[in-house]
């Protein structure tokens, strides 16, 4: 996948599938239910592959951004800003409903705003700014 928007669009597609399968992950173990449920099993198999894809896409994004930042003579550590902020944002969205009494919704909004800031900075820095002419120096 070479187009800049192909990895995020692929991740959006995988996330849409997960959101449709996620209700199957919640299963009550009552005496009337069977010991093994195929829907729940296949949901968690998909979750395993989805988690691998999220990590792979994050690593690919980091490597591509680090390459571009190195060409601009900027610190390559900045390439991890978007993947790290995205993982924190996803974690906050997952955690907040489970511990709502101690983690306010504004905390999630704050982390999301950091993610948006990192995305905007990365898009402006790596997408719209003119590349450095290293050979002219």
User: For residue 129, what pLDDT is reported?
Assistant: 79
Over residues 81-122, the pLDDT tens digits come to 999 999 999 999 999 999 999 989 999 999 999 999 999 999
User: For residue 8, what pLDDT is reported?
Assistant: 78
Residue 41 · residue 100 · CB < 8 Å: no
Q: Is the pLDDT of residue 136 over 60?
A: no
**Calpha distance 113→117 (Å, rounded):** 6
**Calpha distance 21→2 (Å, rounded):** 29
User: For residue 3, what pLDDT is reported?
Assistant: 56
Banded model confidence at residue 133, pLDDT cuts 50, 70, 90? low
* Average pLDDT across the chain, whole number: 87
Residue 76 · residue 66 · CB < 8 Å: yes
Burial 81-110 (b: 16+ CB within 10 A, else e): bbbebbeebeebeeebeeeeeeeeeeebee
What is the pLDDT averaged over residues 15-37? 82
């Amino acid at each position: 996948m070479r187009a800049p928007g192909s990895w995020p669009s692929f991740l959006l597609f995988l996330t849409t599938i997960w959101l449709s399968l996620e209700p199957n992950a919640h299963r009550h173990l009552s005496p009337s239910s069977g010991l093994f449920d195929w829907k729940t099993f296949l949901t968690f198999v998909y979750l395993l592959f989805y988690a691998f894809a999220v990590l792979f896409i994050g690593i690919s994004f980091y490597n591509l951004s680090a390459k571009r930042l190195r060409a601009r003579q900027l610190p390559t550590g900045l390439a991890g800003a978007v993947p790290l902020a995205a993982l924190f944002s996803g974690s906050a969205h997952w955690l907040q409903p489970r511990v709502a009494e101690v983690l306010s919704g504004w905390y999630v909004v704050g982390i999301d705003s950091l993610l948006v800031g990192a995305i905007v900075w990365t898009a402006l820095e790596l997408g719209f700014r003119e590349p450095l002419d290293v050979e002219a120096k």
